């Protein structure tokens, strides 16, 4: 086990590329630290001027500061730049409640670092002419295998997140982060666009979402008295309803829908919306 050292909080600093702090999570974590102390030490490495850079535990570091701690238990490591960034990303992927945009960005960056550290695990097609084959092994598995084991996700989910982060530009990911568009379904739509069109599309769609949210409410306008919230659905009943409807849809002959005449366009619209909804359900079930 690595040795734990107490370091003055003033000697620590966050990485410039650390994940933005979540105020709600920070408040709860600070309260826990006040009551129980810091259970998991922070991982740091030495930096210039006698300071220490926080590699893993940026939220814990900020929460300790919020809780008034002057000394923090730390594990000092000698990671180089790539291993330090990889450790930070791994903690985010394992510990943090990341949005789809954040997870896509972090997974794509982890893939880039992993392949740089272990080029032998890349597909041979990506290394043609370099004389390097795909030499992934149980000791050094392929990226998707290693990341699936680390995060507890399926390899398919890891590959999906990496592809989103590779194909959607960082500016677009940052723009939609934390908005109503920060969903896997929207990222899959965005990744199909050329990079030079993604920001335009994201800005347009965000403006539409804002317009819809700010629009007048039905039956009385924006200042109308809101109706009482409906009680939350019963999970078992919701699942039973879904299964029954899915079975009914599966029994509908596709040829009959194709030959539905004037209803064909409406069927197409509903099918498109249903496909998006099913993709969201699959993503949540495999999260």
pLDDT in tens, 16-30: 888 888 887 888 889
pLDDT in tens, 68-99: 999 999 999 999 999 999 999 998 898 767 89
Tell me what the mean pLDDT of segment 215-231 comes to.
48
Tell me whether residue 42 is in a domain: yes
Confidence of residue 213 (pLDDT cuts 50, 70, 90): confident
Query: Which range is most confident: 186-190, 255-259, 275-279?
Result: 186-190
Same domain, 103 and 208: yes
Quote the number of domains for the chain.
3
Same domain, 110 and 209: yes
Same domain, 62 and 9: yes
Would you state the pLDDT for residue 20?
Answer: 82
Tell me whether residue 132 is in a domain: no
Confidence of residue 200 (pLDDT cuts 50, 70, 90): very high
User: Which of 163, 158, 182 has the alpha carbon at shortest distance from 172?
Assistant: 182
Same domain, 182 and 261: no
Tell me whether residue 236 is in a domain: no
User: Which of 22, 67, 35, 74 has the alpha carbon at shortest distance from 53?
Assistant: 74
pLDDT at 286 over 80: no
Would you state the pLDDT for residue 86?
Answer: 94
Same domain, 114 and 175: yes
Position with higher pLDDT, 135 vs 190: 190
Tell me whether residue 202 is in a domain: yes
Tell me what the mean pLDDT of segment 98-122 comes to.
93
Same domain, 203 and 178: yes
Same domain, 65 and 11: yes
Same domain, 16 and 64: yes
Would you state the pLDDT for residue 222?
Answer: 38
Would you state the pLDDT for residue 22?
Answer: 80
Confidence of residue 129 (pLDDT cuts 50, 70, 90): very low
pLDDT at 225 over 50: no
Would you state the pLDDT for residue 125?
Answer: 37
pLDDT at 12 over 90: yes
Alpha carbon distance 66, 31 (integer Å)? 9
User: DSSP letters of 141-154?
Assistant: --HHHHHHHHHS--
Tell me whether residue 227 is in a domain: no
Query: Domain of 34: which CATH number?
Result: 3.90.1530.10
Do 187 and 167 touch, CB atoms closer than 8 A? Answer: no
User: Which of 74, 55, 87 has the alpha carbon at shortest distance from 4?
Assistant: 74
Do 69 and 42 touch, CB atoms closer than 8 A? Answer: no
Same domain, 259 and 287: yes
Same domain, 265 and 168: no
Tell me whether residue 92 is in a domain: no
The pLDDT mean for the chain works out to 84
Give me the helix-helix angle, 81-95 and 100-117, nearest 10°: 140
Give me the domain span that covers residue 33.
5-85
pLDDT at 4 over 50: yes
**β-strands 5-8, 71-77 pairing:** antiparallel
Tell me whether residue 65 is in a domain: yes
Position with higher pLDDT, 89 vs 271: 89
Position with higher pLDDT, 12 vs 221: 12
Would you state the pLDDT for residue 227?
Answer: 44
User: Which of 70, 69, 40 has the alpha carbon at shortest distance from 57?
Assistant: 40
Domain limit, last residue, from 214, 243, 262: 214
Q: Which residues fall within 8 angstroms of residue 78, CB to CB, at 6 or more apart?
A: 45, 46
Same domain, 105 and 181: yes
Tell me whether residue 224 is in a domain: no
**Token representation of residue 169:** 């530009």
Same domain, 116 and 180: yes
pLDDT at 202 over 70: yes
Would you state the pLDDT for residue 96?
Answer: 65
Domain limit, last residue, from 24, 56, 85: 85
- Its pTM stands at 0.66
Confidence of residue 172 (pLDDT cuts 50, 70, 90): very high
Would you state the pLDDT for residue 239?
Answer: 86
């Amino acid at each position: 086990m690595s040795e734990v050292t107490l370091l003055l909080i003033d000697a620590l600093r966050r990485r410039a590329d650390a994940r933005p702090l979540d105020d709600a999570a920070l408040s709860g974590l600070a309260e826990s630290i006040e009551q129980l102390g810091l259970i998991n030490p922070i991982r740091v490495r030495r930096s210039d001027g006698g300071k220490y850079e926080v590699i893993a535990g940026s939220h814990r570091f900020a929460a300790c500061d919020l809780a008034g701690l002057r000394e923090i238990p730390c594990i000092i490591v000698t990671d180089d730049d790539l291993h330090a960034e990889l450790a930070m990303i791994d903690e985010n992927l394992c510990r943090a409640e990341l949005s789809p945009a954040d997870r896509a960005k972090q997974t794509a960056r982890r893939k880039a670092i992993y392949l740089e550290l272990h080029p032998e695990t890349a597909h041979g097609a990506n290394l043609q002419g370099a004389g390097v084959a795909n030499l992934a092994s149980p000791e050094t598995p392929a990226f998707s295998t290693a990341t699936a084991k680390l995060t507890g996700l399926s390899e398919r989910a890891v590959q999906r997140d990496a592809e989103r982060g590779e194909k959607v530009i960082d500016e677009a990911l940052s723009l939609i982060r934390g908005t109503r568009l920060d969903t896997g379904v929207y990222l899959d739509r965005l990744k199909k666009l050329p990079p030079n069109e993604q920001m335009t599309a994201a800005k347009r769609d965000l403006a539409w979402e804002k317009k819809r949210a700010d629009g007048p409410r039905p039956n009385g306008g924006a200042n109308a008295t809101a109706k009482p919230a409906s009680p939350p659905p019963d999970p078992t009943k919701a699942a039973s309803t879904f299964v029954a409807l899915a079975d009914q849809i599966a029994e509908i002959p596709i040829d009959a829908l194709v030959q539905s005449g004037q209803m064909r366009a409406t069927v197409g619209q509903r099918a498109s919306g249903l496909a998006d909804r099913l993709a969201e359900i699959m993503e949540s079930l495999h999260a």
